[in-house]
A = this chain, B = another copy of it.
Amino acid sequence: MTDLEFFFDPKSIAIIGASDTPKFGYTTTKYLLNSEFKTYPVHLYKPEIMGHKAYKNINDIPDDIELAIILVPNESTLQAIKDCRDKGVKGIIIESAGFAETGVEKYTNIQNQIVEIAKESKIRMIGPNCIGLTNFSNQFTSTEVNFDNTLKGNVAIIAQSGILGNAMVDWASDAKVGFSKVITLGNKIDVDEVDLLDYLNNDFETKVITLYLEGTNRGKELQQILKQMKKPVLIVKNGRSESGSNAVKSHTSSIAGNDKIYEALIRQHPSAFRLDDFYELFNVAHVFSTQPLPKGKNVAVITGSGSLGIKACDEIEKQGLSLVQLKEETIEKIKTVLPSWVSIKGTIDLGPSQSTTFESSLKAVLSDENVHSLLYIFCVPRGPLQAMNLPVSPYFRLMKKLSNEYNKPCVWVVFGSHWVFNYVMESAKKVKYEIPVMKRTDHAIKAFKLMYEYGQFLDNKKI
């Protein structure tokens, strides 16, 4: 198993290029110096940073250093690395950019020299051209994360891109996806997705791994580690097109490679799944991380809008799943509580009656043996919601209870303004966001499909 623990829980840290003025690295410096992590600022000129004694050189620090975070400009990075080698650090996070990804020979050469040092010294290095990592468990971060705004959970992110890692966490803070660890890799001169998949495979805080890949330099090892994975790995791989592939090169100096090879590589491993974009990646990860695996292909749809129900049917069929055929007794049970004009032949369209009919309908549907997963589409607009002040926490409590009881995955989709989404989210809090709420029907159904496939794979392994 790959030892990278000093990256995630460093006993001592040096920030080389620590900054006390608002620029890149400022918030990292501020956060770590004010945290419980033993942190030493290193700065060429300043004797003090934010009230902490600063050292001219990492070698001046009168303490062992496990982890160095390098924030200095590209041309000063090589010397900083050499100093770290002399100090005997275990790991280095190089956040500085401006190396091979520029395509400029001079900067590519600097990167090559760093690679040599990594090989010789066995010091593990993350980056350059990244923002390092965050551990949501002990709240260590080499970048900036508002831990009050984000949720601790069991989804890990491995992202090749720097800025995107932060933007992803920011987006997911609305969706209430809970994270274990987030790692950005940049140009991957040493630590790469193979190392991290291996590490996270044994990380008991991680249940689902999301991976954003621009290209790999170790195809064979990636194949090997995917074969060994005990957890689902959800992958977005960009650079399918020619211009996209060129853009990859100038972004993280990776070779995007032939998309078909990646497609085949992912398909070949039943615990790896390819997703289309970042929104889909995290919505699907959220369902994987909180819901039981569906035991079959039948999806039940309860909706407040027939139109959105129809859209869901199209999507269910597109994904090779089936709209459930409810048992006669289930339909009879639902009929007793619904007005005569409510339609329950396909999707269960509660229309504006849901405040009085939701509970009985949900009970009847989830107890039906034909049902393997449930999609609930909520679309009461802001106006009536404000007027009625419809309480939806009981919906969540019931859904969570029945989902546990019958061991069936449930997803709640909201169609409407963000105000409505937040209104619903406030109630989802009551079940610790363990019923995923999202804006996209197609993502919910994609999750059911992939989770069904994953369940089939696990079942076959057992036999």
Contact = CB atoms under 8 A, between A and B. Distances in A.
Contacts of A308: 164
Contacts of A351: 97, 163
A102 interface: yes
A170 B340 contact: no
A341 B102 contact: yes
Contacts of A164: 305, 307-308, 379, 415
A264 interface: no
Contacts of A99: 341
A441 to B, nearest CB: 8
Interface string A253-290: 00000000000000000000000011000000000000
B314 A383 contact: no
B383 A278 contact: no
Interface residue SS majority, chain A: helix
A387 B346 contact: no
A205 interface: no
A318 B241 contact: yes
A419 B170 CA distance: 9
A166 interface: yes
Nearest to A24: B352
Nearest to A173: B417
A314 B277 CA distance: 11
Nearest to A377: B167
A388 B107 contact: no
A463 interface: no
A244 to B, nearest CB: 4
A145 interface: yes
Given A101-B306, A214-B310, 12 more contacts: A98-B340, A102-B341, A107-B341, A144-B383, A149-B382, A161-B305, A174-B418, A244-B310, A246-B345, A247-B323, A247-B346, A251-B306
A361 interface: no
A70 interface: no
A250 interface: yes
Given A145-B383, A314-B240, A382-B170, A415 B305 contact: no
Interface string A126-159: 0000000000000000001110010000000001
Interface in A420-435: 420-421
A166 B383 CA distance: 9
Nearest to A442: B277
